[in-house]
Amino acid sequence: MADAEQVSDLVATAVNEFGGLDIMVNNAGIPSRMQKSFLHDDLADFHRVMSVNLLGVMLGTREAGKHMSTRGGGSIVNVSSIGGIQAGGGVMTYRASKAAVLYFTKCAAIELAPYGIRVNCLAPGSIPTPILAASAKQLSEQARDAFVEASRESMRANRPLEREGTPEDVAEAALYFASGRSAYVTGTVLPVDGGTVAGTPIRRRPKGDRT
């Protein structure tokens, strides 16, 4: 995704194989390495993370847009993260890359609107994927498992909806942006996070519990 020539070839292959390209979902992403604190971060992975998470989205949007602009429009969906919306400590480069995707999406939506191209953004959160463990791959397996479980528990505590999200939840949101149901929607950021960025959850006591 960070190689402009390969992204161009990807779009060209899709066009040649299927006769056109109406929908592009830029969903590639990698984590930055978890550090003890930002003051201990050597930022050694900055260029790699930014190249995939931000440049890859920009390249995918540009190459898809080139084709869509000659075909009457299309839908581009960029995948960010609630880490790009909600400030917090840790994985600073990852957070910065995802925040940049949000802002780029809005700018691209304005730029490409005259061509009938809609550009929207998903911001998933609390979705079990390997990316969390990958951010702590320098730890032992036992320590990494403990880190992932502690992080998941924190996510559960800060999520208004009690059930955990799934990759299918994110796919359904992408399908909405890709379909005609969102024909008048562009430049929008949609969190898919069980309400995490909305605010602090309220846990109702079970009936009969007066303690």
Tell me the catalytic residues. Answer: 94
Angle at 34 between CA 32 and CA 35, to 5 degrees: 120
Beta bridge mates, 121: 78, 189
Per DSSP (E only), the strands in 125-165 are none
Asked if residues 77 and 23 have their Cβ atoms less than 8 Å apart, the reply is yes
In a 3-state reduction of DSSP, which class is residue 19? coil
The conformation of residue 71, written as its DSSP 8-state character, comes to: T
Strands of 189-192's sheet in order across: 23-26, 74-79, 117-124, 189-192
